[in-house]
Amino acid sequence: MIREDTTIVAPATPGGTGAISVVRLSGPDAFRVAGRLTGLSPSDASPRTLRRCPVRNASGEILDTALAVFFPEPHSFTGEDVVEIHLHGNPVVVETVVRAACAAGAVPAEPGEFSRRAFHRGKMDLTQAEGLCDLIASRTEEAARSALRQMRGGIREEVVPLRERLLSLLTLQEAAIDFAEEDEVPAVSSLQLIERVSEIIGRLESLLRSYEAGRRFRDGATVVIAGVANVGKSRLLNRLAGEERAIVTETPGTTRDYLHADVPIGGVPVTLIDTAGLRETSDPVEREGVRRSREIVASADLVLFVLDGSRTASTGDRSAYEEVASLPHLLLLNKSDLAVAEEGSGFAGAGKRGAVRLSAKTGEGIGDLVAAVAREVAPAEGAIRAQAPLTRARQRLAVERALSALSRAKAAAEEGLPLEFPAADVREAAGALAELLGEVAPEEVLDAIFDAFCVGK
């Protein structure tokens, strides 16, 4: 729950040593607490203007020489009075100043409490708050751009007009129901209702389709390297990661457990996983590694199935391929630096997305592989540059509820049911969009979202 009458304080920059660190105050007594620390008040400097000052504790001891800036409400991040004190980037200094602020009347902020106050004061809706959280945690440039669009109100700009149209339609429906005997009240025909609802359904379906791309930007994709032992899986992981992550030897079964590396591909943060060779073995340790590999392969967004292209595929290769044939996968013919003996015939499962010949040893064909992976896990170039995609299951479920309700409203109108039936469905759809924006949100939902923020944001 938000602490309405308290003034909170926390470091707004990451821990550790650096050039500067920022301590942030927000709340009704932010200016008074900051005044006790710095000797300044808003009248000493223009709003949003840095002012040099000493920082003292209650005993008058100087803790640091700093810059302070005042943000009077409501023109601040939280909508409250906010003060930021820019200190030298030493964790000891920061901790000392935070303690001095608490001694002067502030309380330590909880994770995400600054952003939660901004939400409650109408400075952002819930999708913008989620975008801010995603921006901070973004692992690629494209993911950061996507999150920034959401933080700047991209989803809100799409959803608010649709909700307003639903509310306008609902007003007409309810007026027609309540004043059915009045000639002056315009009736909503079934055809008009179907047309308006169908248009909104189309817009929401487009928004819903953005979820997969948004989820990939936020959560990333898992790409698993699979195949039998000694076909070059570990060397391929090292090549794609750009570093020696896996041990490479000529001895089959070197990888007993899965190894992973994080790389950006097509703007999406991709986790590459090198698995133990898919084969039957009497070694209990390797057998456990194979069991884990099978679990990871089954849950992957994409599998890279590796064959040794310098030899004819074995029974073991074909048996291992059966485990991935129905999953989305690329067939990789490795060791192209050697004489070609395998063309990949017979490896044409339902989930096959293409084949690439390469050499993990020399790097030949790696560019083609990266491009093929990008086509599978990343959004099409420019597909959502102008749109903030849905990124979270909460958002997706809200849009799905709205679509389900509107589909029922359309069906009711097509069947000629009384106006009360589609009106109830339109009302439910408008409520689902209100939940998407956070206009109606249970405290446990808010807790889950804002608890994911760092302290100080």
Shared domain for 100 and 114, answered yes or no, is yes
Q: Is residue 333 part of a domain?
A: yes
As a whole number of angstroms, the distance between CA 411 and CA 426 comes to: 12
- Whole domain around residue 39: which residue ranges? 8-125
Residue pair 146/139 in contact by the 8 Å Cβ criterion: no
pLDDT digits over 118-153, tens only? Answer: 999 999 999 999 999 999 999 888 889 889 999 999
Shared domain for 367 and 404, answered yes or no, is no
Shared domain for 263 and 393, answered yes or no, is no
End residue of a domain, out of 125, 145, 173: 125
Strand partners, 302: 223
Q: Is residue 394 part of a domain?
A: yes
Residue 281: predicted pLDDT: 56
Could you give the number of structural domains in the chain? Answer: 3
Shared domain for 226 and 349, answered yes or no, is yes
Shared domain for 290 and 183, answered yes or no, is no
Residue 256: predicted pLDDT: 44
pLDDT digits over 384-441, tens only? Answer: 555 689 999 999 999 999 999 999 999 999 998 888 899 999 999 999 999 999 987 7
Shared domain for 288 and 364, answered yes or no, is yes
Shared domain for 156 and 104, answered yes or no, is no
Q: Is residue 26 part of a domain?
A: yes
CATH number of the domain residue 198 falls in: 1.20.120.430
End residue of a domain, out of 105, 125, 145: 125
Shared domain for 189 and 306, answered yes or no, is no
What is the reported pTM? 0.81
Shared domain for 189 and 301, answered yes or no, is no
Residue 85: predicted pLDDT: 97
Shared domain for 228 and 364, answered yes or no, is yes
Residue 182: predicted pLDDT: 55
Shared domain for 254 and 337, answered yes or no, is yes
3-state SS of the chain is CCCCCCCEEEECCCCCCEEEEEEEEECCCHHHHHHHHHCCCHHHCCCCCCEEEEEECCCCCEEEEEEEEEECCCCCCCCCCEEEEEEEECHHHHHHHHHHHHHCCCEECCCCHHHHHHHHCCCCCHHHHHHHHHHHHCCCHHHHHHHHHHHCCHHHHHHHHHHHHHHHHHHHHHHHHHCCCCCCCCCCCHHHHHHHHHHHHHHHHHHHHCHHHHHHHHHCEEEEEECCCCCCHHHHHHHHHCCCCCCCCCCCCCCCCCEEEEEEECCEEEEEEECCCCCCCCCHHHHHHHHHHHHHHHHCCEEEEEEECCCCCCHHHHHHHHCCCCCCEEEEEECCCCCCCCCCCCCCCCCEEEEEECCCCCCCCHHHHHHHHHHHHCCCCCCCCCCCCCCCHHHHHHHHHHHHHHHHHHHHHHCCCCCHHHHHHHHHHHHHHHHHHCCCCCHHHHHHHHCCCCCCC
pLDDT digits over 278-297, tens only? Answer: 655 555 655 666 677 788 88
Residue 179: predicted pLDDT: 59
Residues in the chain with pLDDT < 70? 1-2, 178-188, 243-258, 277-290, 380-387
As a whole number of angstroms, the distance between CA 388 and CA 160 comes to: 14
End residue of a domain, out of 333, 357, 377: 377
3-state SS of 237-292 is HHHHHCCCCCCCCCCCCCCCCCEEEEEEECCEEEEEEECCCCCCCCCHHHHHHHHH
Shared domain for 306 and 234, answered yes or no, is yes
Q: Is residue 452 part of a domain?
A: no
